[in-house]
């Protein structure tokens, strides 16, 4: 069973878009009809308690998803979690890669190595995987080195994951545009 927006679920799907473009909602519709679905959150609710706006976003997402989703918070070890826990009958929605990128940058990890490992690991995931990521490279080039590094890394990450994905969709104003099928 799928919603009118949702095509047949690909093995690996990347959903890109800007802020509030409808990425997460669209990604969730791709898993409509599955009984055992996992929401792999890269934000930790306990870490955002001092950020009321982010806490509200998390609450909104949880309420919209409902109780049929199993939520797992994994801010850093995304690749190893997917390798260890994915099973064919438990599709996984990862939301979102750009927050994961922020987490690995903040932890002073090997960004290129983590991105490569994720892209390489997607091919061996047992579960269908839907990954959500922000497109951050469409605006003005930031005026500081940290923001430019983040934007550049996000672009490289999105390219690597898109190359590994079977399906890539970009969202604009709630409308899905298929880039790769």
**Extended beta strands in 18-166, E state:** 37-41, 69-73, 92-95, 129-134
Q: Is 61 a catalytic residue?
A: yes
- Name 132's bridge partners: 15, 95
C-alpha count within 13 angstroms, C-beta hemisphere, residue 93: 25
C-alpha count within 13 angstroms, C-beta hemisphere, residue 82: 28
| CA–CA distance, 58 with 14 (Å, rounded to integer) | 20
Residue from 61, 90, 172, 177 carrying the catalytic annotation: 61
Residue pair 4/30 in contact (Cβ under 8 Å)? The answer is: no
Catalytic residues: 61
């Amino acid at each position: 069973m799928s919603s009118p927006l949702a095509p047949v679920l690909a093995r690996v799907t990347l959903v890109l878009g800007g802020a509030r473009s409808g990425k997460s909602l669209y990604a969730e519709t791709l898993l409509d009809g599955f009984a055992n679905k996992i929401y792999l959150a890269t934000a930790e609710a306990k870490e955002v308690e001092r950020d009321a706006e982010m806490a509200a976003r998390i609450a909104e997402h949880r309420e919209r998803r409902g109780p049929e989703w199993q939520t797992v918070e994994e801010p850093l070890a995304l690749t190893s979690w997917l390798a260890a826990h994915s099973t064919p009958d438990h599709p996984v929605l990862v939301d979102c890669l750009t927050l994961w990128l922020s987490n690995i940058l903040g932890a002073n990890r090997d960004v290129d190595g983590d991105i490569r490992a994720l892209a390489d690991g997607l091919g061996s995931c047992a579960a269908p995987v839907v990954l959500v990521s922000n497109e951050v490279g469409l605006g003005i080039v930031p005026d500081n080195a940290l923001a430019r590094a983040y934007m550049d890394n996000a672009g490289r990450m999105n390219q690597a994951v898109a190359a590994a994905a079977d399906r890539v969709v970009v969202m604009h104003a709630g409308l899905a545009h298929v880039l790769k099928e």
